[in-house]
Amino acid sequence: MKKVERINIIMRYINNRSHFTISEIMKEFNISRSTAIRDIREIEAMGMPLVAEVGRDGGYFVMHNSVLPDVRFTDNEVKALFIAFMATRNQQLPYLKSRHSLAEKLLGLISENQQDDLVLLNQILLFEGTNPNNPDLLDLSDLPHPMLEKLIQILLLDRYLLITTEEEKVIKSYPIYLLHLYKEKSVWLIEGFDLNEEKRRIFPVDHLTNVKPYPTKKRLSKKKILEKLSKQEEVNNLVLELGPKAIAQFKKYHPLKVSISYTNPYQTTAILKTFINVNMPEELTEITNWLLFLGGDIKVREMPEEVLEVLKERLYLYYP
């Protein structure tokens, strides 16, 4: 890493902390004590209001109510930011309008040469979901579900929610403790603990019509929720050995909650363990489709009979 880049990053590191030590700087940036001290002195000379604390465990802190110097982006950081914007276009991400204005502000901060580089990158780089006939750097046009941002704003303050859903004109309300909000197969999903039925449930964000905090008096504590979930953990009933080709397919796509454990240092073989709810037709269909996607480079250690039967039926269609 170049010295200028390192000092820029150290300045951001310092800005985000109320206190730091030379030892922490050495460890974080893998530099010697003398280099760390020189960098801190240069940062002080640039105008950052650092105050040294005397003593064995002393360090530095940034003076309050002081104006900090501008932290400028390096060429590589600018490219990284805009490639990230390009790669996530048309991904139905929240805060779309804010991302649009952020991109415009960043463009206004950089030099003409940096802008020319971004224009060239935008012409030659194509990511999944990009329209090659109109690869506009600021074309963040795929709006997410309107409830997504509202949901995020509320859950940042409170994870106990009362959500209302509508599916096939049937309206239902569920008090939940939100565990995760995630995106899978281009669909945003809520994983929550149903406080009435006391079990884990999945809700598509697209079905949401309203969300609000759940009244405090009726809540189950987070500790009790986690205890109940731990008792409901299913025993793995699908165990596979994956070869290199199957691992390559796994990396292209896999269900969010399915993971693998590599069995050699070269990461050419792995073990996959998960639970399949054979009583849910949709899950059964999805997992068999995905197993076919993995290909033939797998060995079955354990598999539910229901999954095996569906696989046989699917394979018979292709190879009667």
Per-residue pLDDT of the chain (320 residues; tens, 9 = 90+): 778 788 888 888 887 777 888 888 888 888 998 898 888 888 887 777 777 776 555 688 777 655 555 656 778 888 888 888 888 777 788 887 777 777 777 777 788 888 888 888 888 888 776 666 665 555 555 677 888 999 999 988 899 999 999 988 899 999 999 999 998 877 899 999 999 999 999 999 999 999 999 987 778 888 999 999 888 888 889 999 999 999 999 998 888 778 899 999 889 999 999 988 888 888 888 888 899 999 989 999 999 898 888 888 877 666 55
Q: Please check whether residues 136 and 150 belong to one and the same domain.
A: no
Q: Please check whether residues 150 and 227 belong to one and the same domain.
A: yes
What is the pLDDT, as a whole number, of residue 42?
86
The residue out of 129, 144, 159 marking a domain boundary is 144
Sign, CA torsion 50/55/59/61: negative
Q: Please check whether residues 210 and 278 belong to one and the same domain.
A: no
What is the pLDDT, as a whole number, of residue 234?
80
Is residue 56 domain-resident?
yes
Q: Measured between alpha carbons, how far is 227 from 225 in angstroms, rounded to an integer? A: 5
What is the pLDDT, as a whole number, of residue 208?
94
Is residue 67 domain-resident?
no
What is the pLDDT, as a whole number, of residue 56?
55
In the numeric block, the tokens 């899978």 are attached to 184
Boundaries of domain holding 92: 73-144
Q: Please check whether residues 227 and 254 belong to one and the same domain.
A: no
Is residue 195 domain-resident?
yes
Q: Measured between alpha carbons, how far is 187 from 182 in angstroms, rounded to an integer? A: 8
The residue out of 90, 115, 144 marking a domain boundary is 144
| Tokens coding 162 | 């009362």
Q: Please check whether residues 242 and 226 belong to one and the same domain.
A: no
Is residue 68 domain-resident?
no
What is the pLDDT, as a whole number, of residue 70?
60
- Maximum CA extent, the chain: 81
Q: Please check whether residues 151 and 227 belong to one and the same domain.
A: yes
The residue out of 144, 167, 189 marking a domain boundary is 144
Q: Please check whether residues 213 and 262 belong to one and the same domain.
A: no
Sign, CA torsion 291/297/302/308: positive
Q: Please check whether residues 212 and 160 belong to one and the same domain.
A: yes
Which ranges constitute the DSSP H helices of the chain? Answer: 3-15, 22-29, 33-45, 75-87, 96-109, 112-124, 146-155, 222-231, 244-252, 281-294, 305-318
Q: Please check whether residues 191 and 227 belong to one and the same domain.
A: yes
Q: Please check whether residues 80 and 37 belong to one and the same domain.
A: no
Q: Please check whether residues 151 and 224 belong to one and the same domain.
A: yes
Sign, CA torsion 95/96/101/104: positive
Q: Please check whether residues 283 and 206 belong to one and the same domain.
A: no
Report which of 58, 56, 54, 47 is spatially closest to residue 20, judged by C-alpha positions: 58
Is residue 124 domain-resident?
yes
In the numeric block, the tokens 């064995």 are attached to 56
Report which of 301, 289, 311, 307 is spatially closest to residue 241, judged by C-alpha positions: 301
Is residue 88 domain-resident?
yes
Q: Measured between alpha carbons, how far is 97 from 143 in angstroms, rounded to an integer? A: 9
What is the pLDDT, as a whole number, of residue 66?
53
What is the pLDDT, as a whole number, of residue 124?
86
Cβ contact 149:95 at 8 Å: yes
**pTM, to two decimals:** 0.64
Q: Measured between alpha carbons, how far is 105 from 268 in angstroms, rounded to an integer? A: 45
Please, which residues have CB within 8 angstroms of residue 185's CB and are 6 or more apart in sequence?
none
Pairing of strands 60-62, 260-262: unpaired
What is the pLDDT, as a whole number, of residue 64?
60
Q: How many domains does the chain have?
A: 4
| Tokens coding 189 | 């999903």
